[in-house]
Amino acid sequence: MTRLAYDSAETLIYDPVSANRAATRAALYNLGFRHFEVASTIEAFEDSIKRRPPDLAVCEAQGAENELCASIQNLRQGTSGYNPFIVIIVTAWENSNSLVSRVINSGADDLILRPFSTAVIGQRIRTHIERRKGFVVTSEYVGPDRRRDPGRESNVELFDPPNSLKLKALERLSAEEITARLDAQLRVARERLTAEKLRRDAFQICVLWRLMQASLPGTSKFDVDLLKLRNVTKSVARRCLGTEVESAVDWCESILAAIEGLEAGVDRNASMHLLGHAALNLHQVFAPEKSTSDHLAEIDATVAMVAARTQTAMAS
């Protein structure tokens, strides 16, 4: 078994309980880690990641699991922190289905139940160095591939995330080599994340437009989809500012204008027409290789699947 060297790796430990922080630090110290920063609040955890991204973050879920999972997914989405791809291990005292689901959907690399031994966390860390899962980017999720059915068809492509922990522990590069290689890898990976996220979000905007066409204004479903549409559109506009696709911001502004029209209840047909026109053109910006008819066919196929799942859920 290859010996791993952790002495140059930087680790962030978040846990609101000081005794747990001490126990986690002791286990990591026994593995060879020497550089630690600790945080007792979510705010301190987020500030540390923005200020100096670690190679490994070990975070306790209990007490603020919703806030922690939201913070992890914001990081993975590339909206906070220089390095969205740090290795993240979440710890917890319970194994409830709801907690496991939240952690999985946050984009964390792993979940370990407490109390854990040095050997257990050591083996998990080794796995994320030697056999880390590929990352996926969807409209809702960025993180390790969680698909349980390898035979299921999917158009989601995997990519290997930059892994500074691997560069230090396994490849044992010099500080200068690590900085140069990580910067290059992060530049490529962040560009890919942004491009794929924009493409996925633009497609989701089109799907929401189609779903809203089939809903009545004032219903809870319509209002939920309208709010989601606004949030996704604003996210796309923010990501496009200062990039080579900044022209997409104009289409986002048209979509937001249509949303305002729908909220005000003025000429629903005109607002929906503007929404559809802007949504399709926005999607065309990020998927220019396809025709409008191809886009519509793909969108309608997805809407049909969403409708089928909804009917199945209502029948069960």
Model pLDDT for residues 239-289, shown as the tens digit of each residue:
998 788 888 999 999 999 999 999 998 889 999 999 999 999 999 999 999
pLDDT at 152 over 50: no
pLDDT number for residue 149:
43
Of the two residues 139 and 91, the one the predictor is more confident about is 91
* Distance, CA of 271 to CA of 48 (rounded, Å): 44
Q: Where are the domains of the chain?
A: 10-172, 193-310
State percent of the chain over pLDDT 70.
Answer: 97
Residue 316 has pLDDT above 90, yes or no: no
**What topology is assigned to 10-172 in CATH?**
Rossmann fold (3.40.50)
Is residue 41 scored above 80 in pLDDT?
A: yes
pLDDT beyond 70 at 132: yes
Alpha carbon separation from 149 to 146, 152, 204, 246 (Å, rounded): 9, 5, 23, 38
Report yes or no: 114 and 20 within 8 Å, Cβ to Cβ: yes
Dist. CA 11–CA 90, nearest whole Å: 13
CA distances to 38, 137, 153 from 156, in Å: 36, 7, 9
How far is it, in rounded angstroms, from Cα 157 to Cα 189? 13
